[in-house]
Structure 1
Amino acid sequence: MSSRLLVLSNGHGEDLIAQRVLQALRQRRPDLIVRVLPLVGLGEAFAADEAAGHLQRLGPQLQLPSGGFSNQSLRGLARDLAAGLPLLSWRQLRLVRVWARQGDPVLAVGDLLPLLLAWSSGGRFGFIGTPKSDCTWASSGPPGWRPSPLADAYHRCKGSEWDPWEWAVMGSRRCRLVAVRDRLTARGLRRHGVAALAPGNPMMDGFPHAPLPAWLQSQRRLILLAGSRLPESLANARRLLGCLALGQPPDPAVVLVASGSAPSAAAWAQLLKSGGFTPMPLSAEAAAIGASASWGRGRWQLLLGQHSFSRWASWAELGLATAGTATEQLAGLGVPSLSLPGPGPQFKAGFARRQSRLLGGAVQPCQSPEHLVRRLQELLEDPHERARRAAWGRRRMGPAGGSARLAALVEQRLLG
């Protein structure tokens, strides 16, 4: 049985999924030596576990200008290439090969890039495929948005959203585990000879069952997710705050602004001031739930809280979101969302349309700030429509428990 494991992940959402699986794996194998290699960014999701001595991050690392979304535009690819992407990838490949020559396995989390690196190691590897789901092309697009008949026809011809070169790598004899996010996707891959499994979605693990505070029960509750990739998240936050300025709710409403380490509290303060919001005294009740600042404009009250998403998410009635993984988690918790695509590099119109299809309509992309404000008012006044969209999100994301089942498979198939 192997005593060491190298984990590759290529993005913030993938880092979070890998972290969940590793935490569950540590319960089974506390003696396991774990090294993680973040392929995109600095792997900040692993910082706490590294500080506790549970794992070690390896280099080389580089904060890419595109935030890891160079596949969405030639401009983003050009900027990443100029920033040193080819040299970064070559150094990462050399590290992975050195690791595999010592006889230790590699676990890839993400899409084609970590999968190819794991395969190129020459050793045994496993793969957790996070971004692709056959639910995307099997679902109709959001109303009012341009359809994608050519792309849908292409996926139907393949019978899977994964591509033939990806099937070939997954089908390698050295690949001991392929896990995907849902049964429909696993069934599509099995038709192409890939022994894919769908043990559950790790994204839905790690949420505490915190009851809704009594002082929030009488107020309308939104959660605002601007994303974590700078500088895009700042522009997205400015646009979402601008939507709130366009209209006032019929009743007092609290907007829970849950952010990570970025944007910073100072950046949020600057955005809120420029958006016409004014600072308010922070109540003891708000401070007790982790809020660090309170701002107001008319009937809107905004509470800022860093690293409060897991605690606050299930309290919201609706989300205003331009995030990736966090929006999917919100849908899985039964909170429908409205999104507002921007110039990118991540949250562009194509990404938002695909996300809506992936989640079965639990998130609805809006074509303008005015459209978002109109839909927000409609959904706040229609609890039946909110409940219908909430059910769609829960169904697409699945229940909690996926991390523990994945950890058992990793131990059995990759470490054994």
Structure 2
Amino acid sequence: MPLAKKKRRRLLKVHAVPIASSGKKERKTVLFLSNGYAEDLIAASIIQKLANEVPEIKIKALPLVGEGKAYEPLRILILGPRKITPSAGFVGVNPFYLARDITSGWLGWFKDEMDVLRAERSLVDTVVCVGDVFLILLSSLFVKKPIVFLPTAKSDHAKGLKEHYRIEKWLIKRTCRLVLPRDELTAHSLQNFGVRAMFVGNVMMDCLKITGEDFGIEKNGYVVGILPGSKSDAYDNFPIILDAVVSIEKRASFSGRVHFLLALPASLSLEKLGGVASRNGEWKITETIPPRQESGLIAHLVSPQGPIIKIVGGKFGDLLNRSQVIVGLSGMGNEQAVGMGRPVVSFSGRGPQISWHFLQAQRELLAGAISIVKPEGEAVAEEVCSLLDDPKRRERLARMGKERMGGPGAAGRIAHLIKKEIEELINSLV
């Protein structure tokens, strides 16, 4: 047998992770690994529930992609260099993005993250991986502790586009004690492969908080929500959204009757977004006075042609709740909108995230509740107005989306299952 094959076989053997048996500790430690902004939010929701259910547990988090800001409100230790790469984690979309990451110093950051994982091997008892199989591979190689896996990136609903490959299922089966997929169909598929998998809900819907804020809009007014995305390519795609807003305003049946709410992620700059707007149609940005900021309204974008876009910071659940239709260039945000019964209009944009392939997979994933149109303002406006004009179609899409995404409550159920895994670990060491 060639030497390279022998080395590969020895490397794969570390994937079979036994229950730790190094001695009982008074306080168990759980490490959460995540590789994306959405994954950070999902992990943070579970951590909140887990900390309430098992207050004596020690929790750490290592965000492998980005700064991990979703973890900051939690009283936990956040590990790692916490750097933002040019690809924002979408290196699989195009080799060029990987090359940009490498030239920006990603290899050094990645080495630092692996050093953190090695150092945590003797300090943690269980690892919760939220994201894709790359996380469980790293965990089994460097941490070598029992793994609970939430595969957020893949689903059997997106046949041929986002379902798990056979080798991924094999790796999951070899490494994970418990797998909690995002839907029942994927759970059944993994179970048929011999994986200990179960579906208890989609945590994305637990990440939404609704307070009843109406943003000063009358009850019966048309509202279009805008999700520009949270990555840097949002600035490049924003002019198309602005053109769509102007086009909607010009239509006689909707002129002066549609309100626009834009969700501003913490990762985007209000000043830079305003600069893009001013160069595309002479939009002007005006910041709101502090009392209005309590409602989430932080600024207005005003066009000389009439329309006004209210910019909202936080209050994301309220924004979705108040909208009838969403113009979405988001990953998790689009899915949450559909889960709340709001149809989404999207288009393939510049940059690594909102590609044509990504949107095709997302449409399959969400039972067709996303409309994909040409990346032109007029095309976006036409589909938005068509949906606003057709409440029966909106209701049909809402039913489909809610059925596919499910309701809230999964974070608490998953926290309880993690607690049970920890209890089994403790019992095995007695």
Shared fold (TM-score, shorter chain, > 0.5): yes
Question: How large is the RMSD of aligned CA atoms in angstroms?
Answer: 2.2
- Kindly indicate whether the alpha-carbon contact (under 8 Å) linking 1:240 and 1:340 is maintained by their aligned counterparts in 2: no
**What is aligned with 2:100?**
79
- Kindly indicate whether the alpha-carbon contact (under 8 Å) linking 1:3 and 1:33 is maintained by their aligned counterparts in 2: yes
**What is aligned with 1:163?**
165
- Between the two proteins, what is the percent identity of the paired residues? 28
**What is aligned with 2:340?**
333
- Kindly indicate whether the alpha-carbon contact (under 8 Å) linking 2:296 and 2:315 is maintained by their aligned counterparts in 1: yes
1:233-260, CA deviations, whole angstroms, 9 ceiling, x for partnerless residues?
A: 1112222112222342344211111112
Task: Give the Cα–Cα distance (whole angstroms) in 2 for the partners of residues 42 and 285 of structure 1.
Answer: 30
- In structure 1, the residue corresponding to 2:55 is in which secondary structure? coil
**Which of 291, 294, 303 lines up with 2:300 in the alignment?**
294
The one-letter code matched in structure 2 to 1:31 is: E
Give yes or no for the alignment of 1:383 onto 2:391.
Answer: yes
- In structure 2, the residue corresponding to 1:364 is in which secondary structure? strand
User: Which entry has the higher C-alpha Rg, 1 or 2?
Assistant: 2
- Kindly indicate whether the alpha-carbon contact (under 8 Å) linking 1:125 and 1:414 is maintained by their aligned counterparts in 2: no
Task: Give the Cα–Cα distance (whole angstroms) in 2 for the partners of residues 237 and 286 of structure 1.
Answer: 25
**Which of 104, 128, 147 lines up with 2:125 in the alignment?**
104
Task: Give the Cα–Cα distance (whole angstroms) in 2 for the partners of residues 98 and 81 of structure 1.
Answer: 24
- Kindly indicate whether the alpha-carbon contact (under 8 Å) linking 1:109 and 1:130 is maintained by their aligned counterparts in 2: yes
- Kindly indicate whether the alpha-carbon contact (under 8 Å) linking 2:41 and 2:207 is maintained by their aligned counterparts in 1: no
**What is aligned with 1:191?**
192
The one-letter code matched in structure 2 to 1:345 is: P
Give yes or no for the alignment of 1:8 onto 2:33.
Answer: yes
Task: Give the Cα–Cα distance (whole angstroms) in 1 for the partners of residues 109 and 57 of structure 2.
Answer: 27
Greater Cα shift, 363-372 or 347-356:
363-372
**Which of 314, 326, 340 lines up with 1:319 in the alignment?**
326
**What is aligned with 2:402?**
394
Task: Give the Cα–Cα distance (whole angstroms) in 2 for the partners of residues 282 and 19 of structure 1.
Answer: 30
Task: Give the Cα–Cα distance (whole angstroms) in 1 for the partners of residues 274 and 287 of structure 2.
Answer: 14
**Which of 361, 374, 379 lines up with 1:367 in the alignment?**
374
- In structure 2, the residue corresponding to 1:72 is in which secondary structure? coil
Task: Give the Cα–Cα distance (whole angstroms) in 2 for the partners of residues 206 and 368 of structure 1.
Answer: 29
- In structure 2, the residue corresponding to 1:410 is in which secondary structure? helix
TM-score (norm 2): 0.85
**What is aligned with 2:17?**
none
- Kindly indicate whether the alpha-carbon contact (under 8 Å) linking 1:359 and 1:393 is maintained by their aligned counterparts in 2: yes
Give yes or no for the alignment of 1:268 onto 2:269.
Answer: no
5+ residue gaps, structure 1, are: 138-150, 156-160
Greater Cα shift, 383-392 or 363-372:
363-372
1:90-133, CA deviations, whole angstroms, 9 ceiling, x for partnerless residues?
A: 33233223322345221111002212112212222211111111
- Kindly indicate whether the alpha-carbon contact (under 8 Å) linking 2:212 and 2:318 is maintained by their aligned counterparts in 1: no
- Kindly indicate whether the alpha-carbon contact (under 8 Å) linking 1:252 and 1:300 is maintained by their aligned counterparts in 2: no
Task: Give the Cα–Cα distance (whole angstroms) in 2 for the partners of residues 341 and 353 of structure 1.
Answer: 10
Greater Cα shift, 396-405 or 92-101:
92-101
How much does 1:280 deviate?
6.5
The one-letter code matched in structure 2 to 1:324 is: G
How much does 1:299 deviate?
5.1
5+ residue gaps, structure 2, are: 1-24, 425-430
- Once the two structures are superposed, the pairs formed by residues 349-364 of structure 1 within 5 Å of their partners are 349-364=356-371
